[in-house]
Amino acid sequence: MEFWRTILGLARRKRVGLPLVGLALLGAAAVFFLVPPRYLASTSMVLTTPPAGGTTDPAKPLGRSNPLLQFSDGLRTTAGILILSMNTEAVAAELGVVKDGPIELTINDGRTNPGMLGILMNGPFVYVEVRSDSADLSRAVMARTQSRLRAELIRRQETLGAPVSTFIGLVEVVPPAYPVMDRSGTWKAMGGTAFLVVVLGLGAAYAVERRRVFRHSSSGGGRPEEPSPATVEIPADRDGGADRDDRDDQGEPGEPDERGEEPESGEEPESGEGCEGREEQTV
């Protein structure tokens, strides 16, 4: 608890809090200009059955059919096969996408698109998303990806020996528009930089404060210790105490001091020798 009190106290100081805020804003501004924006291109496609259906002649019992149309889930299984085949390193390299490179390619059934969450379970969708540092590059990768999807779908149907009249089609539901600028990554980098500057600044200020307190206490300049009740001296009264001290120094009149001598006094002693002396003088 003491640590957080110290941190809060340091943040409230003008010579600590204001410079940290200024450095955080400068760091965030530098990140805004240094981190380039990303350009997003996306499209949504759906698989469709041919107009003639899944067989060449439905009236004939031995008519040829498309094996990809014989699944119980319809075209959703075919869409899943197509998505899995496109999410391989070989296909990504063919499209110009390398690992940890400037291009990010996403191919799925639309689960990463918030606008498709409500209809995700109702159709065999294929969602494609491309992010890169250039708008033209995003458009080029998007075009290559769509062509590769259609070619992969045709190749698999030909491999299975499906009649051409029963081929499944791939239709664009939302055609790819011009890539839009996406600064979400830039904002995240700006926030992280500002937070890091504040944390490091407060940590440095705390270290300096603790070092100053340690030096002050080690040099003997710390807070003096309070005396214990047994060693507390009660001061005497101003008037009565002073009179008692004077009487103690001078001694009581008429009483011998430590050397056995009587104190000087203006009054004559009332002893026996004194009385006899006065009587003799009178006679």
What is d(CA 188, CA 280) in angstroms, rounded to the nearest whole number?
124
Give pLDDT tens digits for 144-192: 999 999 999 999 988 888 888 888 888 888 888 888 888 888 899 999 9
What pLDDT is stored for residue 242 in this prediction?
47
* DSSP bridge pairs for 128: 43, 107
Give pLDDT tens digits for 127-155: 999 999 889 999 999 999 999 999 999 99
What pLDDT is stored for residue 53 in this prediction?
64
For the cut 90, the answer to whether the pLDDT of residue 265 exceeds it is no
pTM for this prediction: 0.60
Q: What angle do CA 221, 224, 228 make, to 5 degrees?
A: 160
Of the listed ranges 8-22, 83-97, 143-157, 243-257, the one predicted with least confidence: 243-257
What pLDDT is stored for residue 86 in this prediction?
92
Is the sign of the CA dihedral 178, 181, 184, 185 positive or negative?
positive
What is d(CA 176, CA 34) in angstroms, rounded to the nearest whole number?
29
For the cut 70, the answer to whether the pLDDT of residue 217 exceeds it is yes
Confidence of residue 26 (pLDDT cuts 50, 70, 90): very high
What pLDDT is stored for residue 52 in this prediction?
63
Tokens describing residue 130: 């491309």
